[in-house]
Structures are given as structure tokens and as C-alpha cells.
Structure 1
Amino acid sequence: MQTSTSTPPIQIAIIDNHTLFRQGMISLLGDFEEVTVVFDAENGEDMISKIKKFPSPDIILMDITMPVMDGYEATAWLKTNHPAIKVLALSMSDEDRPIINMLRSGAVGYMLKESKIRDVVHAMQTIQKHGYYLNELVSGKLLHTMQNKNTPADKSKELTSNELTFLKLSCSELTYRQIADEMNLSPHTIDNYRESLFQKFGLKSRTGMVLFAIKNQIISV
């Protein structure tokens, strides 16, 4: 049993279509006094039904690939209807596309299901304290940028027209080669724009660029 904390436990819900995964998470989290599982659900539709019957969670652990209503739709629904509830995505995929799409849908963090349970608890504590959780995908400088809440105008003014267009297209599902075609530029030039943004704002990944654009309202979600 983990050491008792002076703060109330974080109220959480687990949304995943695999019953064994949900049961396993509930069992593992039972060793942590820092969190309390208020309900679990097998998909977004089930979540909507149960959210009316149970105490409102502070944080929801959200799977992505689910039948009936997937993680993207469920997260977007929460952002519209229950914006105070934060979503931490838990997925098997470490590819750009699902990460970007979950962040665009409203998730405030993204972790792999293979993560250690103590790291998941730490992520939820971070979300409870700061409102978001950023792991190795994003650098400390980006964290600083987000915490300082720079205005969109301040950040947009630091970008050239082509860099701004590239940044917006990077927040889509287009590959870098497709972005080059869309902008009628060579892949080499696109690589230069990417590296320029990485250096200019201390980013390390495409996911970092998306987070940067969302937090500074350079793109709308």
C-alpha cells in the first residue's frame, strides 16, 4: 500500500473495451490511495450512460480503439459537455497520428499501455496539479512556453508565412511528403521548416509541434 497523502484521492474512470484490461487497472490502482476508481465503461457510449449515474471523475483514462464510440469521439464529447473532466489517453500506439488526433480531440496527456502503473498515477497527479501531462515527446522549453500562456499573436509573429502554413498542415493527418506536395515545395525544404521550428521553440517531435500550436491557439481544435 502506498503512503497516504494529505490531499483527497483523484476520482477517475477507466474507458476501455477490453474487460480484462479494465479489471487489471482497477486491481493495480487499488494499491494507490492517491486515486479512486468511480466507474469503468467499455466504450464512449457506455461512458456517457454511466457518467450520469456515478460521481463525476476528475480524470478519465481513455482507450482509443473501441466499438460504438471510440476514444476520439468520447474525448471530444467530454470536452464539449464536461470540460472540467480531463482525459489521459492510454494506447498501444506510439505513432504520431493517434497522438495528434487525441490531443486535437481534447486529451491533456498520452501514455502507452505498457507504462508502469506508478507512472500512470504520477501522470494523473500531474494533470490534477497542472492541467496536463507531457512526457518525453515534448521538451522542457515547450512546457515553459505552455505554462507562461503566451498570446497567439506573440507566437504567430515569430513564424514566417510558410512556417505557419507548415505548422498548420503538420497538425493534420498529412505525411511530411504530402505536406511538401500541398505547399509545392521539395521534401528537403519541408525538412528545413521542421528543423527551424524545432530549434525556434525547443521542440523535439511532430507531437510537440501540435501541442505547441494547440496551446498557443495557432490552430483551432
Structure 2
Amino acid sequence: MIEKISIVIVDDHTLFRSGVANLLSEFEEINVLFQASSGKDLQQKLSADNLPDIILMDITMPAMDGYEATKWVTGLYPQICVLALSMFDDEKSIISMLKAGACGYLLKESDPSDLLEAIKITKEKGLFINENVSGRMLVSLRHDSKAGAANLKPSQREMEFLQYCATELTYKEIADRMNVSPRTVDNYRESLFSKLNIKSRTGLVVYGIKNSLIQI
């Protein structure tokens, strides 16, 4: 039995939004929970009872645009990955969405197979890097400004996860201790890898000890 990836689509263009929903519904691994026409509409429809794995987020929308909606989602529901789906391919739009908390960026002109692949990668790794979101761009974001650096600091839950990394617990056991799903723990790990530019659990522990973030 295939584990379905739950999706929410936020876009103010009804035909495009419905088209993407119909397209994704054809893939057996995708479950479209609902659609929203703006950030405000998303706020009204999203609740603890219907949280998706991934939100496909447009940028230019009335009432509340994609930047503000992404900040709201990632601030209140950090376990949700926001994948920007926009017609804009300029660096300013991409960087602004990443700063707002988006996990990746995809152009609306992309092929359906590329969209499906981006969704799968985002679900698996919590981060989608392609030609739009390059490694160099992520590095520049880390050092862009003091405000940007503040946004890249580990969250309280990520700090809790970091502490557990110094134990012999498996990731699944850590998820049980933190009372979250294994996928959420995966998101904590990948987020710390990205924020701290670290590639392994051992590296996380060493970093935590050196910076007095882990109590031994």
C-alpha cells in the first residue's frame, strides 16, 4: 500500500489551482486535501485536523500574499513544508520565499513529472534544491543579514532534537520521546543540516558540544 502525500494548493487563479489539483489527483501517491485562494483563505481552512505534508504556495495573491502566508504557516505549523509554485523566476522572489520559510521553489511552467518529483523530494528530505534554488543561493542566505541569521537559528524543538542526538536513541525513538511523527524528526534533522551546514548526526553532536548547546 502506497503512503500518500497530503497536499494543499494555494493560488488565486481558480483555473490554474483546479488544474493542478486535478493533475495531482491522477497520481496514486498524492492526496489533495483542499484548495485555498489566498493566505487568508488558507488561514480559515487550515486546522490541526487537516494538516498537509506539503503546501504548494503561489506568491502574488490578494488579502495575504505567498510571503506572508508562508511565514504564518512555518511559524505556526513548522512540520508543514511549503513548496513555492510561481511564475516568477527572478532571484529576489526566490530568496524572499526561502527567507519566509519555503523549503523549495518551482516554476509553474514545470512539467507534471517535475512537480511530482519535487513533491516527493520535499516530503522525503524537507528541502528541494534545483536550478532555481542552488547551493550557492542557500549559502548566501545564511550570511545575508543579521535578520536572516536570526531566522536560521535552531528553533526550540530543533534544540530539543539536537539534545536527543547525543543519546543512543534511534530517530524513531527520538520521535516517540518528542511525541511527533518520524517525518517531523526528519524535518528537524534536515533543517539543522541546512542551517548549520552539517551533513551527519555526529557533526550535529560535535557542533552542539562545541557551542554548549548540548548538556552531557
Alignment match, 1:64: 59
Structure with greater contact order relative to length (CA < 8 Å, sep ≥ 6): 1
Give % identity: 45
Q: 1:82 to 1:43 in 2, by over 3 A?
A: same
Please, which of 140, 148, 156 is the counterpart of residue 209 of structure 1? Answer: 140
Task: Check the 8 A contact 1:96/1:207 in 2, yes or no.
Answer: no
The RMSD of aligned alpha carbons is 2.3
> May I ask how many residue pairs the two structures share in their alignment?
150
Q: Distance in 2 between matches of 1:16 and 1:90?
A: 9
Q: SS in structure 2 opposite 1:90?
A: strand
- Look at both structures and tell me which one has the larger radius of gyration over its CA atoms: 1
TM-score, normalised to structure 1, is 0.62
Q: Distance in 2 between matches of 1:122 and 1:64?
A: 21
Alignment match, 2:71: 76
Alignment match, 1:126: 121
Cα shift at 1:27: 1.2
Q: How does 1:23-62 map to 2 (within 5 A)?
A: 23-52=18-47, 55-62=50-57
Q: Distance in 2 between matches of 1:220 and 1:14?
A: 25
Q: 1:24 to 1:82 in 2, by over 3 A?
A: same
Q: 1:211 to 1:112 in 2, by over 3 A?
A: farther
Q: 1:207 to 1:36 in 2, by over 3 A?
A: same
After the TM superposition, which of the residue ranges 55-64 and 128-137 deviates more from structure 2?
128-137
Cα shift at 1:210: 2.1
Unmatched runs of 5 consecutive residues or more in structure 2 = 153-216
Q: Distance in 2 between matches of 1:133 and 1:209?
A: 17
Show CA shifts across 1:14-49 (max 9, x none).
000000011100111121011110000000010011
Q: SS in structure 1 opposite 2:79?
A: coil
Q: How does 1:185-204 map to 2 (within 5 A)?
A: none
Q: Distance in 2 between matches of 1:63 and 1:208?
A: 24
Q: Distance in 2 between matches of 1:212 and 1:10?
A: 33
Q: Distance in 1 between matches of 2:142 and 2:17?
A: 28
Q: Distance in 1 between matches of 2:142 and 2:105?
A: 11
Show CA shifts across 1:35-91 (max 9, x none).
110000000010011112862100000000000000000000011111111100011
Q: 1:23 to 1:210 in 2, by over 3 A?
A: same
Q: Distance in 1 between matches of 2:44 and 2:16?
A: 20
Task: Check the 8 A contact 1:138/1:208 in 2, yes or no.
Answer: no
Q: SS in structure 2 opposite 1:61?
A: strand
Alignment match, 1:22: 17
Q: 1:83 to 1:25 in 2, by over 3 A?
A: same
Please, which of 113, 116, 135 is the counterpart of residue 111 of structure 2? Answer: 116
Alignment match, 1:100: 95
